[in-house]
A and B are shown apart, each in its own frame.
Chain A
Amino acid sequence: MIEGILIGLNTALSIKNIIMVMIGCFAGTIIGMLPGLGPMTAIALMIPITYGFEPSTGLILMAGVYYGAVFGGSTSSILINAPGIPGTVATSFDGYPMAQQGKAGKALAIAAYSSFAGGTIAAIFLLFAAPSLSKVSLAFRSPDYFGLMILGLTAVSAFSAKGHFLKAMMMVVLGLMLASVGQDTLSDIPRFVFNNMNLADGISFVLVVMATFAMSEALSIIFKGSDPTQAAKQISLSKLGSIRLDKEETKKMVTTIPRSSIIGFIVGVLPGAGSTIASFLAYGMERNFVKDEEKQKFGKGSVNGLSAPETANNAACSGSFVPLLTLGIPGSGTTAVMLGALLGFGIQPGPRLYQTNPEIFWSVIMSMYIGMVILLILNLPLIPYIARILAVPRAFLIPLILFFSVTGIYLMSFNNFDIYLMIGIAVVATILRLYEFPMPPLILAFVLGGLMEENLRRSLLISDGSWAFLWDRPLTLCIMITILFIVFWQIYNSYFKKR
């Protein structure tokens, strides 16, 4: 492991990769700040650029964007009570009241230190958990993988849109259907190509991500007539106040950070749960832990109340890399986008990544530490200025997002058909978004489609066509029971439970 850490450090500390982390953190912060444009859009916009780099550099850039976007989301939660991403909603509970009391600088500092500490502690957990889990996951068989993928999709659907489980499951099926277009990987038989040669290779992952996130989010903003940059114009540079924390505030953070890091990491590892649930759980847990006097301050500008969700959402980000790197199964929409990018690089994450591509495995983990440090150094003093940059009018912002999306596809294929297809998918996604159909399950399903079919193929061939593989092994049986429980619980909860 020491050798791996050194390899990772060597790769992550190269000048080129440090610059990439810096660019990633900076770009991610800006995009993450804009309400409506989350980490998935930020990463999606970066993918075409990363294809020009080595896999480790590309992944380091995307990891930087991810952390930057989460941090950016916290900034808009604190300053303007408009969370950039769902994972930072809990941050606004105490961050915004603090800002209203003239302590915005302090709130930003607490968020930055907590994010840094949470992310760093979780990255240490990842350092030990990932190799161990890689070894354990070598014992997994095709039926287990098939079951785990269905579990991931079901869990993401259950958590991504509360009360809209069936909508999310329709999105899962749509994502899998889109993934099935093109030649069958084993027999080369064309499927759903309709004599169109442009579809023979299937639909590009970048195209689907760009269409369902970057482009459709931009179109949604115009369609709804909202202006994400409007709130940024309210920020006053002079009203931020000091960013220095006193002894008592630091003491409060020191007790909150370790427990919130643990809960954040554990929730991040679970498929589908992610930073939103982690931050709410940590907020609730912290409220139970603190003294009655501090409890009264919750929702009115409590240091513990701000530190807990901030620590947990960053820890969850690191935790979400565990299933991606060890099993090759992403647990969230954002890590699904990263899996798609890795597959684009020709790298199959999973238990063997640790042995076959140690430089990628370890450099990603090491770059997380570096990313955290850079976020702290770069963003904290620059936040008021970055926030000012955000006052870019919507009339410029939206065309630029559309331009980056089209350019991304153009660079990859030089094909008009792909642009039309992307526009078509984006229009459909915009309408679906309007009626609260969640997009992360679609992306996760699209990325996992090929792997799912492959594992189902192997399982059915080994069992000679019998579906008994779903309950033959105790592990697979446990996974299937969990899936059935989630499905029935969600349907019962949404449609039959009396309120």
Chain B
Amino acid sequence: MQISPVKIISLLFFVFSGFYLYHAYQIRVFAFDENAPFNAKTFPILLGYAGIFFSGLYIVLPEKRPANVNLSVLDYKRTITLVVLMIIYGVTILKAGYFLSTSIFLVLSYITLGEKRWFWVFTLSFPFVAIFMFLLHGLLDIYLRDPLLKYLGIIG
């Protein structure tokens, strides 16, 4: 028997709603609020039950139009690589600074997606980020935290 992936997602949402509901009941409200008509946990509790209701209904009812996804044609490798690159970008952005980490992220992403025209790979990374930073920081006066460029004395 093959279980529909949407039913599995609904089951996961059912469990998540149960987890949410449990934590909604654990919210500690002030003593004088405990028996009030509405307190900090009233709405989350309702949401928990709503999540259980709708996901439960989806699990129980027959699926009339199942989603047809061919898993074999999905590009897992590139998608996962991009996600990992974004995580690394997130880790380095505060330490290495905006300019360097963004430029490197762009270069690696272009290469991951199969780009081989090095002129464009370079132009749309380091100079592009520099112009973008100038627009934001220099013209629109939007603060950009970049310890590296600050250390080098390029930005104030």
Q: Give CA–CA (A423, B86) in the complex, Å.
A: 7
Q: Is the CB of B55 within 8 A of A396?
A: no
Distance from B57 Cβ to chain A, minimum over Cβ atoms (Å) = 6
Distance from A483 Cβ to chain B, minimum over Cβ atoms (Å) = 13
Q: Is the CB of A399 within 8 A of B110?
A: yes
A-B contact pairs, 24 of them (CB 8 A): A49-B142, A52-B140, A166-B61, A169-B54, A173-B50, A184-B40, A192-B23, A219-B79, A224-B75, A394-B113, A396-B115, A396-B124, A399-B110, A400-B106, A406-B93, A406-B105, A410-B98, A411-B136, A419-B89, A419-B90, A423-B83, A423-B87, A437-B9, A495-B64
Apart from A173-B54, A191-B24: 12 A-B pairs, beta carbons within 8 A: A191-B40, A192-B23, A222-B113, A395-B115, A402-B82, A410-B93, A432-B9, A435-B6, A437-B9, A457-B38, A457-B43, A465-B37
Asked if B47 lies at the interface with its beta carbon under 8 angstroms from chain A, I say yes
Chain B residue numbers with a CB within 8 Å of A396 are 110, 115, 120, 124
Q: Is the CB of A399 within 8 A of B6?
A: no
Chain A residue numbers with a CB within 8 Å of B28 are 189
Asked if A478 lies at the interface with its beta carbon under 8 angstroms from chain B, I say no
Chain B residue numbers with a CB within 8 Å of A495 are 61-62, 64
Within B92-117, which residues are at the interface with A (CB < 8 Å)? Answer: 93-94, 98, 102, 105-106, 109-110, 113-115
Q: Which residues from chain B sit less than 8 Å from chain A, CB to CB? A: 5-6, 9-10, 13, 17, 20, 23-24, 27-30, 33, 36-44, 47, 50-51, 54-55, 57-58, 61-62, 64-65, 67, 69, 73-76, 78-79, 82-83, 86-87, 89-91, 93-94, 98, 102, 105-106, 109-110, 113-115, 120, 124, 132, 136, 140-145
* A427-B83 contact given A189-B29, A222-B78, A396-B124, CB 8 Å threshold: yes
Q: Give CA–CA (A110, B102) in the complex, Å.
A: 43
Q: Is the CB of A461 within 8 A of B110?
A: no
* A52-B37 contact given A169-B54, A400-B124, A435-B5, CB 8 Å threshold: no
Within A397-425, which residues are at the interface with B (CB < 8 Å)? Answer: 398-400, 402-403, 406-407, 410-411, 414, 416, 419-420, 423
A163, A403, A411, A434: which contacts B69 (Cβ < 8 A)? A434
Q: Give CA–CA (A341, B82) in the complex, Å.
A: 28
Q: Is the CB of A170 within 8 A of B93?
A: no
Distance from A454 Cβ to chain B, minimum over Cβ atoms (Å) = 10
Q: Give CA–CA (A223, B120) in the complex, Å.
A: 24
* A460-B20 contact given A180-B43, A225-B74, A423-B83, CB 8 Å threshold: no
Q: Give CA–CA (A452, B43) in the complex, Å.
A: 9
Asked if A378 lies at the interface with its beta carbon under 8 angstroms from chain B, I say no
Asked if A187 lies at the interface with its beta carbon under 8 angstroms from chain B, I say yes
* A464-B6 contact given A176-B47, A414-B145, A435-B67, CB 8 Å threshold: no
B37, B40, B44, B73: which contacts A187 (Cβ < 8 A)? B40
Distance from A487 Cβ to chain B, minimum over Cβ atoms (Å) = 10
* Chain A CB within 10 Å, residue with most, of B47, B62, B64, B76: B47
* A435-B57 contact given A410-B98, A461-B38, CB 8 Å threshold: no
* A460-B98 contact given A223-B74, A494-B64, CB 8 Å threshold: no
Q: Give CA–CA (A395, B117) in the complex, Å.
A: 11
Asked if A484 lies at the interface with its beta carbon under 8 angstroms from chain B, I say no
